[in-house]
Amino acid sequence: MRIHAFHLLREERLKTSTKPFNARGAKVSRCRYCLVAEKNCLCELQPKVACDIAALILVSDNETFKPSNTGRLIADVVEETHVFAWNRTEPQAELLALINNKAYLPFVVFPDEYVDEKARLVESAELLRLSNKGVQVANDEQRSLPTLLPIFLDGSWREARKMFRRSDYLTGLPVLSIEPQQVSEYLMRSSDNEQHLSTAEVASLVLEQLEQPCAGRALQLWFECFRETYMLSKTRYKSDPTRPALQAWKDFIGFESIN
């Protein structure tokens, strides 16, 4: 399996944390990477799909420790995923350098209802035009244009709104708003609004809008597989023994067990 930036951030925070994670589900013996029960480990099924964009995830400190987190599923699918712990007043120098790097076109993914300056809102088609790497110039060379860099705010909705409003380094960036057509399938945690999708569900829609259909479909199926597997450790949850989401994911990647 591929160790990515979210794994490394979580390992770092676990080492420096002064108190253990004792929230619901803490007693389950989990795989350190996919975070489902060890007996149901999904690591050998980690996605490997082509994707022409990058991703940046800003993670609230609380979210780093939660096994139910879905933001790290983005890093499973989008190979070039940059992950940083959110800090309001002291953002990492590497984060600021990435946002200001002319090789990328960064934009924040967030609901338009929270955007006071409507001029910041952009359409996916506009972003695609700005980052079209296939444009030909007069001398038949490929123009070097920026790689799309969606920024996902990974936390509870209260935390995400705080991250959006109190991060000065994000205020000048465009905002892509997602209008979900489906009710969230995120059963692992409750939300005040059923239309508030999990981070992975939002990212799958963004990938689709940015003309990355294979990666978008992979992330949606991977999320469903993770959700189904995670819920197996819930004693009060009645699971389907046929594991349809797991089977759908195996069919998608053409997985054949060697056992």
Q: Where are the domains of the chain?
A: 5-133+141-253
Mean pLDDT of 199-220: 95
User: Which of the four pLDDT bands, split at 50, 70 and 90, describes residue 132?
Assistant: confident
Strand 147-154, strand 55-59: pairing: parallel
| Helix, strand, or coil (residue 164) | helix
Contact 60, 66 (CB under 8 A): no
Which pLDDT does position 143 carry in this prediction? Answer: 54
What is the distance between the alpha carbons of residues 188 and 169, in angstroms, rounded to a whole number?
A: 31
| pLDDT tens track for 58-95 | 999 989 999 999 999 999 999 999 999 999 999 999 99
Residue type, 144: S
What is the distance between the alpha carbons of residues 53 and 44, in angstroms, rounded to a whole number?
A: 24
What are the C-alpha distances in Å from 141 to residues 28, 133, 144, 145, 148?
Answer: 55, 11, 9, 12, 20
Highest mean predicted confidence (pLDDT) among 92-106, 178-192, 195-209? 92-106
Q: Measuring CA to CA, which residue among 97, 17, 106 is closest to residue 57? A: 106
Q: Which helix (H) or strand (E) holds 16?
A: helix 5-16
Which pLDDT does position 23 carry in this prediction? Answer: 59
What is the distance between the alpha carbons of residues 227 and 231, in angstroms, rounded to a whole number?
A: 6
Query: Residue 58, class by beta-carbon neighbours within 10 Å (0-12 exposed, 13-18 middle, 19+ buried)?
Result: buried
Which pTM does this prediction carry?
0.89
Q: Measuring CA to CA, which residue among 82, 77, 76 is closest to residue 55? A: 82
Residue type, 254: G
Which pLDDT does position 135 carry in this prediction? Answer: 45
